[in-house]
Amino acid sequence: MRYLSTRGQSNSDTKNSAAPRFTEILLAGLAPDGGLYLPESYPQVGKAELEEWRGLSYADLAYAVLSRFIDDIPAADLQALIARTYTAQVYGNGRNREQAAEITPLRWLEKPDEARGEGGLAILELSNGPTLAFKDMAMQLLGNLFEYVLAKRGEEINILGATSGDTGSSAEYAMRGKERLRVFMLSPHQRMSAFQRAQMYSLHDENIHNIAVRGSFDDAQDIVKAVSSDHAFKARYRIGAVNSINWARIAAQIVYYFKAYFAATGGVGGSSDREVAFAVPSGNFGNICAGHIARMMGLPIGRLVLATNENDVLKEFFQSGVYRPRVSAETHATSSPSMDISKASNFERFAFDLVGRNASVIRNLWSAVDAGGSVDLSKTSFFAKLSDFGFAAGRSTHADRLATIRQTFEKYGLVIDPHTADGLKVGSELRSPDMPMVVLETALPAKFEETIGEALGRRPERPAALQGIEDLPQRVEVIDVSVDAVKAIIQRLLD
Ligand SMILES: *Cc1c(COP(=O)(O)O)cnc(C)c1O
């Protein structure tokens, strides 16, 4: 499998050996032309194969899916690496053995009832990894892939990132203790919850460096961009990234759509004739992009429901054909903070497919986006094609979130987190009764105690292993908003 860029400067090379393969883009981030990497075609999975995959364990299914995208790691090595990643121990989180072995169990809120033509409503549990958010599903694999590829090549990498909460901790737990890589993670000083701070700052591994910036998340993000655009510094200190545009993260997320599809259509004895709908709480369009690709591979996904919070750039696009990224001053701080995103970096991947994989169209459209403008497809033939891709979109507000958390607890006895609540609210609205609807859980409520308290008048349960985490000794260096200060920390450690 070879990879091309959505902006296609290098696409003329696709047919010859110059187009990169998986391990060449694994550490690369953006393509040199500023586009995002995608496979040159989507592997197709037929009915017969689907039936074979139905009975596989999570790790075996992950290998079946990922080996279609990764053909430059020897099969036995890739299989072993995946088997080491998706274990009941890593994704167990104190659950019983049977649930833990499923890795991503499906929990029915309303069971399907064939006789009554009811497809059912379910939550796909994706948040039982080490940091209690779905990002662990991909990040744990990324950590093992990085370690493997760096060892093969005898290289090292220093990962520099900025986080508002979930990504940073997920990356640190995936990379901690690994050889040949270090993590420098910037976070906004005193703007994360006590729990989020404790999750990151209580790590004492030698290769993990927490840096708190006296400023906002955007300030931290700007520092990362400034350091990364200093090409001499970047090359000398081997600076890399693990942000959400990384192709391997998307690829890893495709797996659980298959897993959930099988679970929602009768499990081992079921059949792959019927369609399933998915509802996905979205920010950077990474999670739902994986669903789009699963569907392009032939998985019978009847509908992909995109849920936003008050930051509804993506909902607006799917309803109007206009994609208008907002500046950070126009971005609302909401009670589903991991979706407070106004420029959905992975959206370019879907747009590439929507415009018939024409890279020059994307190049033109996104030169406007990069310059702070917007994209208007409303009067083009592309907008008419949108319905071929199965998307529907809706928005959820703080009041919706609280009401959904409350109703879900009253009706089903289940406490869900604010992001999952956005997905459930929009998914319930855009559901056809006869089609199973699977809502993707993106975090556990324990991460967002304050909003759960506001909705239910009590704190969510916390997994035993994380009790009292706020009391552990913390390690973090606090700095002013300064590019040089960050460079100095990196130099001090590496020179
Ligand atoms: C990252 C995140 C999201 C958004 O996912 P995208 O892939 O960026 O669309 C939603 N909910 C939670 C809890 C997250 O951490």
pLDDT tens, residue by residue, 206-241: 999 999 999 888 889 889 989 988 989 999 999 988
Active site residue 135: yes
Ligand 1 nearest atom to the CA of residue 166, by list position: 15
pLDDT for residue 14:
47
Using CA positions, which residue lies closest to atom 14 of ligand 1? 338
Q: Which residues of 133-171 are buried (b: 16+ CB within 10 A; e: fewer)?
A: bbbbbbbbbbbbbbbbbbeeeeeebbbbbbbbbbbbbbb
Residues of the chain with pLDDT under 50: 11-14
**Residue 339 alpha carbon to ligand 1 centre in Å:** 6
* pTM of the shown model: 0.95
Catalytic entry in 47, 111, 135, 234? 135
Q: Alpha carbon of 64 to those of 49, 56, 68, 160, 308: distances in Å?
A: 10, 9, 7, 32, 31
**Residue 337 alpha carbon to ligand 1 centre in Å:** 9
Q: Which residue has the tokens 């009391």?
A: 471
Which CATH number is associated with domain 102-132+248-456?
3.40.50.1100
Give CA–CA dist 221/241, Å, rounded.
12
Q: pLDDT digit string (tens) for 365-375?
A: 999 998 999 99
DSSP state of 443: B
Residue count of the chain, please give it: 495
User: What ranges do the domains of the chain cover?
Assistant: 102-132+248-456
pLDDT for residue 11:
47
In the chain, the amino acid numbered 17 is S
Give CA–CA dist 36/295, Å, rounded.
20
Ligand 1 nearest atom to the CA of residue 341, by list position: 8
